[in-house]
Structure 1
Amino acid sequence: MKTSVFGAVHLGYLVIETQRFSDWARFGTDAIGMHRDDLGSGVMRFRLDDQECRFLLRRGPAEDVVATGWHIDDHASFEQIEARIRAHGVPVVRGSAEEAELRGVERLLRFPGPKGITQEIYTTPLKSAEPLLMVSSGWVTGDAGLGHVAITSTKPERLRGYFDTVFDARLTDFIDETISGVKLKVRFLRVNERHHSIAVAAVRGLPIDPVRTRVQHLNIQADSLDDLARSYQRVHELGFDMALSVGQHTNDKELSYYARTPSGFEWEVGWNPIVVDESTWEPATHQGISIWGHTPVGQTIIDKLDQFRLGARSLTRPEKTVPALSGAPGPGRRR
């Protein structure tokens, strides 16, 4: 019988490829309020806590998230995940000492992931002795991990199967939403006590993907409501685009806003989401993403037309999947 690694997996860091280093420096440090370390002309890191790296930015053309790093609690779970991937015939590459050092981790492995986002696992995050220098008072990480990543997909069942196969991800709930006449279904997956570490959104009835980037948004959790409000104000004052105003989600009850990053995907800053109680939780379907708020900011009809153009273009562009790791979820697990 397969031993579950659920609970031993935590979203640890993200790797972003960009040419817009000066914009990202202002966005991450001055607007969002993270600690920044400049490691040279082509490398920059952001910290949220005592771990050396939560976001690694490297110079390149993608303007997107290119890798997701998962902290695995112990060597036994790490080796079990590695064995699963190899057993399915999927290549696993050991990260070099230099790559591990840039990410501030030990024992680094990488393997292919959905939508071309490389998945990386590691066992030990390195701690920094340098004090945090940031305008925010703090961020919530710990056992719940960094936050979450949201992905749009034309093949949501394959993403659901992938994260079940690799990490024993559990379905937390669904949201049904209609935006500009387009019906969406969003699946929320958890790998620990955080309500979700992965969200997968799909257009119902149409195999289109209206988002240019591999991720639609990523999320980090503010330590206080005051931190949330002040970062929202800084994003406005510094001239960065706001995607959605402050609002509250229906499912995890998180209060949040969405800013647009220099690379084009969105960055959600949230506060006070519920924590899942594994002994009582049952998946449910919620109608609408928000109880209140989260209204589009400055969106024009041109922006909406551009989204539909991107969606139409995705019909001719096959979505990258990893079929060998995207099988059916385990017994009793809903899609």
Structure 2
Amino acid sequence: MNPLDDISVFGSVHLGYVVIETQKFADWHRFGRDAIGMHVDELDATTMRFRLDEHDCRFLLRRGPAEDVTTLGWQIDDHDTFDHIVRRVTGRGVPIQEASADESALRGVERLWRFPGPKGLIQEVFTRPHCSGQPLSMHTSSFVTGEGGIGHVALTTTKPAQVRGYYNTVFDARLSDYIDETINGAKLKIRFLRVNQRHHSLALAANRGVKVDPIRTRIQHLNIQVDNLDDMVDSYQRVTDLGFGMALAVGQHTNDRELSYYAQTPSGFEWEVGWNPITVDETTWEPTTHQGISIWGHTPVGQTVVDKLAQFKQIIRSLREREETVSALSGDGIPDD
């Protein structure tokens, strides 16, 4: 056994924050605060943060042209586990950099280090969040965070084995299950990975035929969870009343049983608001394959011909471009079980 892998970090890793680069600050302010119902802090003309709970930062928005998620921030429970993850990364020759004090302060965390991840998504690890104690001002009564982290992110990829291998190498991610789905004629296999008790912190969707990626952004969607059903219903109504696009109407997933909807963010990727997913019991859980993403609902809303043409152009573009991987941390990848 590789000495870098002899201690599992599973259960000590939690999705702590997400960094978004955008020029659309006014739209994001309305979307995050008025539609989704999060607390907003405007730090200056180039920086805005959203809060879900006592943590100072759960979403950091920086001004820039990407209109995309750029970074995933992972909270690590203790310094020993943090050091172990750093050794895994550096031991395989991957560059890792300590963040400055100002960068840590913007994210509201301590002991922050970063290293490259799949699809150009920077991975950041930290050990302790700042909790200022300032009261929350939110339309939503409460969000579910805690041991499961803030939610999950979903990626489309042409290299699912390598991406899965990466998160297994770095965080000892475990396979929760698969979903087979056909969307607009494309046959997809979606892999769901967990790093703690949350059913999944990462979902990896890949076309089962030609290796294409229909999504412009690094992530296809991100998810947060509300504490009660009324909060989900109320936010759905606010999203539609305020004129933001709705990608998928309310429905229930086959695998984690979460009730949710998907809104279109100002930057183009989707934002899922969910309620009441199952948590994984490690003593009994066995991965399985589900047919279709939903038991009911999640019907597409308002997709236009222009949207379909843009997606087709992205598919053609993805045939010419090479998806970024971090081969030193992906090994040979993990083939489907």
* TM-score for the superposition, normalised by structure 1: 0.98
Which stretch shifts more, 52-61 or 319-328? 319-328
- Aligned counterpart, 2:193: 189
Distance in 2 between residues matched to 1:289 and 1:299, nearest whole Å: 19
Amino acid at match of 1:265: F
Aligned pair partner of 1:129 in 123, 133, 145:
133
Identity between Structure 1 and Structure 2 (%): 67
Distance in 1 between residues matched to 2:48 and 2:168, nearest whole Å: 32
Distance in 1 between residues matched to 2:294 and 2:308, nearest whole Å: 20
- Number of matched residues? 333
Q: What residue ranges of structure 2 are gaps of 5+ in the alignment?
A: none
Contact preservation (8 Å) 1:261, 1:267: yes
- Aligned counterpart, 1:104: 108
- Aligned counterpart, 1:77: 81
Q: Map 1:85-234; keep pairs closer than 5 Å.
A: 85-234=89-238
Amino acid at match of 1:217: H
Distance in 1 between residues matched to 2:128 and 2:310, nearest whole Å: 43
Distance in 2 between residues matched to 1:28 and 1:181, nearest whole Å: 33
Q: Post-superposition shift, 1:306?
A: 2.1
Distance in 2 between residues matched to 1:300 and 1:68, nearest whole Å: 31
Q: Post-superposition shift, 1:129?
A: 1.4
- Aligned counterpart, 1:245: 249
* TM-score for the superposition, normalised by structure 2: 0.97
Distance in 2 between residues matched to 1:288 and 1:128, nearest whole Å: 43
Q: What residue ranges of structure 1 are gaps of 5+ in the alignment?
A: none
- Aligned counterpart, 2:56: 52
Amino acid at match of 2:120: G
1:30 aligns with 2:68: no
Superposed CA offset, 1:295-314 (max 9, x none): 11011233223212211110
Superposed CA offset, 1:267-317 (max 9, x none): 000000000000000000000000000011011233223212211110101
Amino acid at match of 2:308: K
- Aligned counterpart, 2:14: 10
Q: Post-superposition shift, 1:96?
A: 0.3
Q: Map 1:59-70; keep pairs closer than 5 Å.
A: 59-70=63-74
Distance in 1 between residues matched to 2:166 and 2:55, nearest whole Å: 28
Contact preservation (8 Å) 2:161, 2:336: no
Contact preservation (8 Å) 1:165, 1:329: no
Q: Post-superposition shift, 1:328?
A: 4.6
